[in-house]
Amino acid sequence: MRPGQPNRRLDDVQDLRAMAHPLRVRLYYALTTLEAATASRLAESVGESPALVSYHLRRLRDHGFVEEAPDLVNDRRERWWRPATDGFRFSLPEADDVPEARAAAVALQRTALANQLERLESWRDEQPSWGPEWSEAAVSSDVMLRLTPAELAAMNEELHAVLRAYRERARDTARAATDPATRSGPSTGADPTPGENADSADGREHIFLFLHAFPFQP
């Protein structure tokens, strides 16, 4: 994605409805992970046909979730895509005020949650193949707290600040790895393909983290 594009807040019913589709959620996460990709590459990632993926990418583009990346095109027959913003967020409006928006937000929330749980189940199945180091590093925990709404909001902001710091650290490392001025050894004259893991040599892997914090009655 282009640097400097802020996290987007969704408050339009049509935008919420557009994203509340299982394949579009998977495509958006895949494209966010790859940072930029063609429809063919994304089709491989999600296990669908390039034609179907292209259709849903256009729908996501129409609602501002992704954008075309003509600066990455080397072959006129290919079309590159990237996320339009640095993620998105949304809340659940009060039903009495905007019931349609609330229904759309609930649908998107359920779709995103189903995707999260599917990824967690996949990790449980694949965990032995990752070896003991990644198994020990992975986190699965829950904590019971007593907080005010203001304290919960403050905790949320602190957690996201930590996550943003680690994300920027990884991006800085990736940029340094692809900068000819910082490379060690002879240059081949070829940069890594956009969307590929340029920093895999330093032991980094894509990490999927999701947190849920909400009030409940014991």
Kindly report, residue by residue over 32-79, the tens digit of the pLDDT. 999 999 999 999 999 999 999 999 999 999 999 999 999 888 877 789
Cβ of 152: how many Cβ atoms within 10 Å? 14
Cβ of 2: how many Cβ atoms within 10 Å? 13
Name 37's Cβ contacts closer than 8 Å, sequence gap at least 6: 30, 31, 45, 80, 81, 82, 194, 195
CA–CA separation, 128 and 205 (whole Å): 16
CA–CA separation, 128 and 134 (whole Å): 9
Mean pLDDT of all residues in 80-95: 82
Q: For the chain, give the number of residues.
A: 218
* pLDDT of res. 172: 86
Is residue 30 a contact partner of residue 46, using CB atoms and an 8 Å limit? yes
Report the predicted TM-score, pTM, of the whole model to 2 decimal places: 0.78
Kindly report, residue by residue over 106-158, the tens digit of the pLDDT. 999 999 999 999 999 999 999 999 999 999 999 988 899 999 999 999 999 99
